[in-house]
Amino acid sequence: MSNGRNFVEAEILEQGVKRVLIKFPGGMRPPQQALVGPGSTTQDLLNHLGLSRDYALSAGTGDTTFGLSEIIYPLISDGDLLFATSRVDAGS
Amino acid sequence: MIFSLLFIIFALGVVIYFVRLSPKSFETIIEESLRLASNRPKPFVKVLPTISSRISDKVVEADNTPVYLQRGWVRKDNGYHGYYRTQYGAWEGAIQRRGDAFYVFINDPPTEKLRHHSRWPCFRQETGKRWRIHLAVNPVDQDINSIILYVESVIRDSFRK
């Protein structure tokens, strides 16, 4: 456990990697911690989570939903909580 | 005659030189581009193993309660009933599943705020205070929690505009 922790901290220090906790509101999947490096897009993170383009990442509110090709790195802070939800949109 | 012959030989030499040089230059450019592309650092992303398997006794485990339970929604009849909760208020609603599509309802929504929202045309008044929100994109995993969060985000956005 301590080795794993030191490994993460070393990476953060060396590469400016940010840690985020990703929650799945449905509760069907336990929250997962991810490391996000400079230049990472939402799509990169979704791919690593095994989620398709039918899912969205947000910081919890509708106006903080990240675009798929958006570079997410500068938009998040170390320790942020993100939500992975399946895409929903209203329309006639 | 000799000058013409020399000129032709010279011209052929020039042509051969450029014909040989051009593809080589092109290949060089391609190789250089590929080399630069491969050298471009790939974004670092790593998903760590599930927290519960790494967690110690001293760390509080992240809450994994589904949103619909957190919001107090209950399953009744052929759907879910509860309140869309935001910092601006709570509105009673219901979500019914019919096949792969969801029928989303909200009672007495904040129409004065919502009418300025881009999704206002998707709100249709049904009977009395009951409104239906027409979904164009249904959650691919049939997760009603995503719908609850979406409706709440639309309400929140409408108050912020």
Whether A1 maps to a domain, the answer reads: no
Half-sphere exposure of B5 (CA within 13 A, CB side): 2
Distance of CA A51 to the CA centre of its chain: 11
Q: In this structure, which amino acid lies at residue B27?
A: E
pLDDT averaged over consecutive 10-residue blocks of chain B (161 residues)?
A: 81 75 60 61 79 57 85 92 96 94 97 95 94 96 93 92 72
Whether A5 maps to a domain, the answer reads: no
Whether A7 maps to a domain, the answer reads: no
Task: Quote the CA–CA distance of B54 and A24 in Å, as a whole number.
Answer: 18
* Domain CATH code at residue A38: 3.10.20.90
Whether A9 maps to a domain, the answer reads: no
Q: Report the domain count for chain A.
A: 1
Whether A10 maps to a domain, the answer reads: no
Whether A40 maps to a domain, the answer reads: yes
Judge if pTM exceeds 0.80.
no
Q: Quote the Cα angle for B126-B130-B134, to 5°.
A: 65
| CB proximity A23 to B under 8 Å | yes
Partners of A57 on chain B (C-beta within 8 Å) are none
Q: Where are the beta strands (DSSP E) in chain B?
A: 45-47, 74-76, 79-86, 89-98, 101-107, 123-127, 130-133, 135-137
Of B130 and A9, the structure prediction assigns the larger pLDDT to B130
The structure tokens listed for A64 are 């903080």
- The predicted-structure confidence for A47-82, as pLDDT tens digits, reads as follows 999 999 999 999 876 668 899 999 999 999 988 999
**Torsion angle, CA of B131/A53/B144/A63, rounded to 10 degrees?**
-60
Partners of A61 on chain B (C-beta within 8 Å) are 153, 156-157
Residues B118 and A62: beta-carbon distance below 8 Å: no
Whether A91 maps to a domain, the answer reads: no
Strand A80-86 versus strand A18-23 pairing type: parallel
Whether A27 maps to a domain, the answer reads: yes
| CB proximity A73 to B under 8 Å | yes
| CB proximity B140 to A under 8 Å | yes
Please answer yes or no on whether A26 and B138 come within 8 Å at the CB atom: no
Nearest by Cα to B73 from B64, B81, B85, B65: B81
Structure ipTM over 0.85, yes or no: no
Could you list the residue range(s) of the whole structural domain that residue A79 is in? 17-86
| CB proximity A13 to B under 8 Å | no
